Amino acid sequence: MNTKDDNRRGPYTGNRAQGPGRRTYPDAVNGPRVGRIAPNVPRAQRVDGDEAQDNRPAERPARGGDFHRGAAYRAPTGARQYKREMDGVTPELPEDDHILVGRNPIREALRAGRPVEKLLVASGDLSGGAQEIVRLAREAGAVVQRVDRTRLDQIYPAHQGMLAYVAAVSYVELEDILSAAEAKGEDPFIILLDGITDPHNLGAIVRSAECAGAHGVVIPERRAAGLTPTVAKAAAGALNYMPIARVKNLNRVIEALQEKNIWVVGTAMDGENAFTADFSGPIALVIGSEGEGIARLTLEKCDRTVALPMKGRIESLNASVAAGILMYEIARARAT
């Protein structure tokens, strides 16, 4: 017998014939018996097939509450092969009514002429039906973007490989804006936006344009924010009153406006002082993007450029703030 062990644990006084768990130690009076097996433990029962499981604790609901774990059952093909069922629960559609999921809803929306801002397509080979949807989206002027499938899963799991964002309101044609000005008997006052990608800025500009009395806003199809729910929220209801035209080429719009004797005024750092500039008559104001301003070719097509004087150390204003100031300078000139 190990003497060191005996000194540490004390002398053995149990009866080996009684089996394991019967050792007692003098130095642990009234203490628990280590390794003792309780005599009243019930025998384990085997559950087969779909037998009742009333004695089992309730299943914990999955995160989100939409699905819960189904009962585990033994597969007929082999022992200990289990499967979880969804119990026939059908996932709900996205709460955002500006999101379309599934190939058929997207296809029918494009065929019906509903304005689609962006089509997200899962990376990989596309079947014939998916290729048709991509073709229809591109013909409608929507931005088609290939993304990883996990990104679509985060938005809506049952996406069938594609998901579309539709515009908050319908777009109009440039002629509709000009006709609205003519119906009011006013000189056209139009806002052209060159590459405004921030939806908050776009919404704020549309809101200011409506308050300043502009007849419409023109945005390009590419490299620009569309009429998303974020834009609608930032516009604070102005989308319901301000006509928005989406065009493929902003430079051609400028040429078309100039042919109708509408002055096109751009914004540039080296332009004339906006506080002393002449804003009378029919006018189209061009606002550039947040970071790069107006594109070079677009700026060259403008009849003239204006700038807001900077008194502080910061060299530029936020696009929506600068647009609001300039629009009210035009409104003031038109009121005199």
Where exactly are the structural domains of the chain?
A: 99-166, 174-335
The answer to whether 306 and 277 have CB atoms below 8 angstroms apart is yes
pLDDT of residue 308: 93
Distance between CA atoms of 320 and 210, rounded to whole angstroms? 13
Distance between CA atoms of 308 and 269, rounded to whole angstroms? 8
Assign a CATH topology to domain 174-335.
Alpha/beta knot (3.40.1280)
Would you tell me the crossing angle of helices 199-212 and 319-335 to the nearest 10 degrees?
10
pLDDT of residue 324: 96
pLDDT of residue 213: 94
Assign a CATH topology to domain 99-166.
60s Ribosomal Protein L30; Chain: A; (3.30.1330)
CA of 301: how far to CAs of 74, 169, 244, 256, in Å?
Answer: 74, 30, 22, 11
Provide the whole-model pTM: 0.61
Residue stretches of the chain with pLDDT short of 50: 1, 3-7, 12, 14, 17, 25, 28, 49-59, 61-95
CB-hemisphere CA count at 13 Å for 54?
A: 1
Distance between CA atoms of 263 and 259, rounded to whole angstroms? 10
pLDDT of residue 39: 61
> For 83-215, where are the E strands, in sequence order?
99-101, 116-122, 143-147, 162-166, 189-193
The answer to whether 218 and 192 have CB atoms below 8 angstroms apart is yes
CB atoms within 10 A of CB 244: 27
pLDDT of residue 83: 33
